[in-house]
Every structure is written in C-alpha cells, then in structure tokens.
Amino acid sequence: MNNVIEEKQNVVVKFAGDSGDGMQLVGTQFTNNTAAVGHDLGTFPDFPAEIRAPQGTLPGVSGFQIHFGSTSVYTPGDSCDVLVAMNAAALKSNLQNVQKGGILILNTSGFDTRNLKLSGYETNPLNEGELTGYLVYKIDITKLTREALLDVEMGVRDKDRSKNMFVLGFIYWLYNRKPENTIQFIEQKFKSKPEVKEANIKALKAGYNYGDITEAFSSRFKVKPAKMAPGTYRGITGNPALALGLIAAAQKSGLQLFYGTYPITPASDVLHELARHKNFGIKTFQAEDEIAAVCSAVGAAFGGNLGVTGTSGPGLALKAEAMGLAVMLELPLVILNVQRAGPSTGLPTKTEQSDLLQAYYGRNGECPMPIIASSTPSSCFDAAFQAVKIAIEHMTPVIVLSDGYIANGAEPWKFPKSADLGEINTKKVTSKENEEKFMPYLRDENLVRQWAVPGTEGFEHRIGGLEKDDITGNVSYDPDNHQKMVKIREAKIEKIADFIPEQNVDSGKEKGKVLVLGWGSTFGAIKSAVVDLLSEGYEVAHAHVTYIKPFPKNLGKLMSQFDKVLIPEINNGQLVRLIRDRYLIDAVPYNKIKGTPITKLELKEKILEVYSEIG
C-alpha cells in the first residue's frame, strides 16, 4: 500500500499503559532510535508512585513522553500529537494532554468491562462521543500480538508481554523509521532466552507490517534530522551523566573514587552506573542505611580518596549530621541529591525542586556548603565534575542537586574529550618541607587547609566533630575562637565565587523588562517560553543559576538591569526566598507543586502577566 509521507517539524508522542506493559522500555528504545536518526529530543518518563498499583487503575498508569524534531528541543512537550493508550486508565489519565486533532492509538482489548470499571468510566469512550475531534485508531494490539506469536512455544501471559514491541514496531512504521537498532537490542538482551527473543522480534515486525498492510492509515510522517553542532553524540539521562562526571573527575584528580550509598528513588541508577565501571578502580558500597552510607564516604575522604554519596530528600535529612562532620573536618566530599516530591515519603516517583532550602540550611549549627544545580540531563556531567573540583581544591563538602525529571529524562549529548576538561589539583600533602609541627588548620590565601592523609609521617593530627582551634586543630571551647572559625568557614565558601564563572544570560539581552531567573529542571520550559516571547518582540531574558552557594559575583548587578525578576520553581518558593534575602529585590515567584514539570504555555502566560504590570 502506498502512503502519503507528511513532513513534520516537531512531534510529541506519549506511550501509556499499566506499569507491567513495558512503556518505559518502549519509550527508551524509541528514544535511542530517535537519537540515532539525528533528531534533537527531550523525554519525560512518568512512573507510578506505587510499586505494585492494581492493574487497570489510574494510579497504576506508567507513561513515557518524547518530543523530537528537526529544530532545537528544550522540553518533552506541553501536549501530545500522538497518544498510545494500552488501556482505559491510560486514556483517561492522558487524554486532556492530547492536542485536538491529535492521533489516539488505542488497544481495544484494554477497554473491556473490567478495565472500564477500574478506570472509572461509566460508558466505553470508544463507542461514545468523548473522542470526537481526535483521529482515533482502534487496534486490538493484544489479539494481534497473540496471532503473530501462534507458533512460538510460550504461555499466553508471556506472549502478552510482547505487545509493547508490537506497538513500537507500529510507531516505527508510522514515523518512517527502521527497527534494526531495537532488533539488535533484543538479540543482545535475550540471547540466553531464545523463545523470548523470538517472540519480541516477531511482535516488533508484526507491528511494523500491520502499518504497511492495513488500509486504515493513509499517511505516514517524516521528521528531518536536526541541525546540530558537528561532533560525536550519544543519548544520555541524568543519573548516568552524574556517574560519568564523577569518573572523569576522579581520573583528572588522580584519586580513587569511593561511592557509598543506600538505594532510594530516583537516585539508585547512579550506583548502578558506577558499578559498571570498576575498570577505573571505582569502589561502590551499598550500605545498610543512609547514615552508614555517608559516614563511609567521609571515611574514604579522610583516607585520601574521592568520597561521594548519593540520595534523595529523605536520605539527605538522615545524612545531615555526618555532612556537618565533614564541614568541621573540612574534607572533600560530594553529596548527590536527586530530588523528589515530599515531605516524608511524599511522591517518590514524581519530580520536585523540593530540597534547595534543606541543602542550604538543613544541618545543625552554622554549616555552610557549596551547592551546584544541574539543569538538563547532559549538564549533570559538568555539575558532578565541577563539584569534585570545588570539593578537592577548596577542601569542603559540596552538594549537587538534580531531580527526578532530570535523572530519568534523556537528550543528545556531545560529550567532551579528556583534553577539554579542566585540571583538578589536590591539596594532599606528601612530605614535610621543614621540621615544624604540622598545623592542620593553617590556611592558604583562599582559606583552604591542607589534606593530610593518615599514615603520612609527620602529619599526625586530631580529628572529630568538636570545634577546632584555629591553626592547631586542637579541641577548643573558647567562645572567641568558635566565632572566628564559624566566620572562616563561611568566608572560605563565599571565596569560591572568585573561581566560578560569572552569571550569563542564556537568552535575550542583559538589560530589559523581565528577567526569568531559574535553576534546575525548569531550564527547558523557561528557555522555550523566553525564546518564543523574544521572537514576538518582548523585552525578556532568561538566566539560569548553576552555582547557588555561593552565587556568581555579578548576579546582583545582572538582576538590577531588569524591571522585574520572575523565578519559576517546582516547589513552594525556595530560590526566590534566597534571592530576596541576599539581594533585597522584590522577585516574583511562580510555583507549581504537582509532581510534574512546568509547561511552556503556562509559563508564557505568567511572564506576560508580570510584563503587563510594568508601567
């Protein structure tokens, strides 16, 4: 059958179904294929909050959204052009986010009486007028998958697990793609299970061929490759990028990387990735709890290694006392915090920028620590690398903030060569230059003390969490000394501002009416909204803060060049509090606390609202 090939500039596709339907795998494979074709892309995997939510229910819906195109892509998309819904609950959860006129590909076997009841439908939307205005394709995916696998010796339940491959094959056909990379993936993944390999490949090809032979689809779609800077690219998600940044920094510093952690969503993949690279001398340790994890990393740092620990918000709270110990000892330690919605267990699979104030203030006493925030999946590499550099060169613990959206989202990454990365110089002492007694808290011009590893002759010194005497490091209860040391520790952190880049404007000019100031995963929404408004003639700009403690030295001056500063955040207003406190400006907050990212459309409306209030 000959189909018309329609060319599209940008497309948003969402795969949705039960958590057991394999939507994350389908989305990941389609993402890998999309990257190989040369499109720019952004993704948003959306996991159920419950580990085993009842099948067919709204809480059990798992989704994967991908935005790809021939132009620059900054977000996974506000709304979908195509929704693949494997059951009634998947349709009900996502229909409001599908553009009118969009394509609905619906698995009819997921709309039986049981599924309709579990999802709260009183009548079948496939037979009513609820889907008027959409291009609806009703496909009995379950039945067609079983028919394609008639000669495969597997049980029906096992065969049904391949229906996600049928869907993927059909979407490959619809967007004029070749499925070879997924076939190679299946052959590798299931090489020890020949019947599973055969079933998945047959289902994939059946879905592709279904599009070819059915007369229901008169059009296919094609998206040209994006124009991207020359270089070698790979697809990357945030957590592996953090791991690779740590590995690169360990190699550059000449230190052995030790990662002590306790599994927690959505940070666990950092451990999984690091464990794959033991050829670099990496030591990974899964502790019995969060406190043991951070204490092991502190011990590794005291022993002269690159100590790193990782967690999410609840774990950061448990690590607080040991982080304070590292501040008192002035040891290089990196703490990764992949944020999620809270408080307490909160929404463990949903994203939120919830821990900035916890990172800033959440320890007993005056306990300052540098804070670096990643903004996209690929930026996690740089955030981790720079955190290690600061930790080692300034002898301090450093917090890196990511979140679930960044951790699981994917984008193309033009990865650097080793020669392009900066050097990391350690403060470790190896031999005495004179016969004088070693003074562990004697500082250089940047208030940084030396790093003396236990067992190095002549560098014996006292450790512990009690206050240290200036220079000697002896235990001190002197009130004047305590105040002096508090001031020194704070001044040391603030002096790091001399070694970080000044704040730049990402889009727009350095003077105007509205500056949209962001941090973390709001980058894509802000970037795309501001770019749109600039093209419409508005005097707006976008700046994104990577270094939050200390702030870049020119940040105050930059903000003063605008009539209004708008700060969008996926929390109840945290950076805006820090900015108001530090710079005494009336920054305007825009907050969303729903476990989902801010969209471009809603942010454009808020920017225009603020813009209209300027006289």
Cβ proximity of 380 and 410 under 8 Å: no
Residue found by looking up tokens 């560098």 in the block: 459
CATH number at residue 601: 3.40.50.920
Taking the CA of residue 271 as centre, how many other CA atoms within 13 Å lie in the half-sphere pointing to its CB? 21
Q: Are residues 399 and 336 part of one domain?
A: yes
Which of 420, 449, 482 is the last residue before a domain boundary?
420
Cβ proximity of 23 and 15 under 8 Å: yes
Q: Are residues 199 and 322 part of one domain?
A: no
Which of 420, 437, 461 is the last residue before a domain boundary?
420
Q: 569: which strand partners?
A: 591
SS3 content of the chain, % helix, strand, coil (to 5): 40, 20, 40
CATH number at residue 416: 3.40.50.970
Domain extent at residue 549: 512-612
Q: Are residues 303 and 332 part of one domain?
A: yes
Residue 129 is assigned to a structural domain of this protein: yes
Calculate the CA dihedral of residues 126, 131, 137, 138 and round it to 10 degrees: -10
pLDDT at position 34 is 93
Q: What is the mean pLDDT of each run of 10 residues along the chain (615 residues)?
A: 80 94 94 91 88 84 95 93 96 94 95 94 89 93 95 91 95 93 94 94 95 79 87 91 98 97 96 95 97 98 97 97 98 98 92 97 97 97 98 98 96 91 90 80 96 89 92 96 98 98 97 98 97 97 98 98 98 98 97 94 97 90
Residue 449 is assigned to a structural domain of this protein: no
Q: 220: which strand partners?
A: 5
Q: Which amino acid is at 615?
A: G
Q: Are residues 240 and 180 part of one domain?
A: no
pLDDT at position 434 is 67
DSSP string spanning 441-470? B-B-TTSPBPB--TT-TT-----SSSPBPT
| Listed residue (375, 373, 377, 382) closest to 412, CA to CA | 377
Left if phi > 0, otherwise alpha if psi is -120 to 50, otherwise beta: which for 545? beta
Residue 302 is assigned to a structural domain of this protein: yes
Q: Are residues 241 and 218 part of one domain?
A: no
Cβ proximity of 393 and 352 under 8 Å: no
Q: Are residues 286 and 357 part of one domain?
A: yes
| Listed residue (497, 500, 529, 502) closest to 514, CA to CA | 529
Residue 379 is assigned to a structural domain of this protein: yes
Q: Are residues 65 and 170 part of one domain?
A: yes
Please, where are the H alpha helices in 369-470?
Answer: 379-393, 404-408
The DSSP call for residue 235 is E
Residues 62 and 499: their CA atoms lie apart, in Å, by 43
Sheet holding 397-403, edge to edge: 283-286, 257-261, 306-311, 333-339, 397-403, 371-373, 547-549
Cβ proximity of 73 and 378 under 8 Å: no
Residue found by looking up tokens 């990577």 in the block: 546
Q: Are residues 381 and 238 part of one domain?
A: yes
Chain-centroid distance, C-alpha 113: 38
Q: Are residues 268 and 238 part of one domain?
A: yes
pLDDT at position 216 is 66
Which of 420, 438, 457 is the last residue before a domain boundary?
420
pLDDT at position 218 is 73
Residues 544 and 552: their CA atoms lie apart, in Å, by 11
Residue 26 is assigned to a structural domain of this protein: yes
Please, where are the H alpha helices in 410-522?
Answer: 479-495
Cβ proximity of 472 and 485 under 8 Å: no
Neighbours of 209 (CB within 10 A): 14
| Listed residue (373, 339, 381) closest to 236, CA to CA | 381
Cα-flanking dihedrals φ and ψ of residue 53, to 5°?
-65, 145
Residue 452 is assigned to a structural domain of this protein: no
DSSP string spanning 551-589? PPTTHHHHHTTEEEEEEEESSSSSHHHHHHHHH---PEE
Residue 467 is assigned to a structural domain of this protein: no
pLDDT at position 458 is 87
CATH number at residue 67: 3.40.920.10
Q: Are residues 201 and 93 part of one domain?
A: yes
pLDDT at position 2 is 62
Total domain count, the chain: 3
Residue 42 is assigned to a structural domain of this protein: yes
Helix (H, G, I), strand (E, B) or coil at 152: coil
pLDDT at position 436 is 81
Q: Are residues 201 and 138 part of one domain?
A: yes
Q: Which amino acid is at 435?
A: E
The residues, ordered by sequence, that sit 6+ positions from 273 with a Cβ below 8 Å of its Cβ are: 239, 240, 242, 243, 244
Q: Are residues 265 and 382 part of one domain?
A: yes
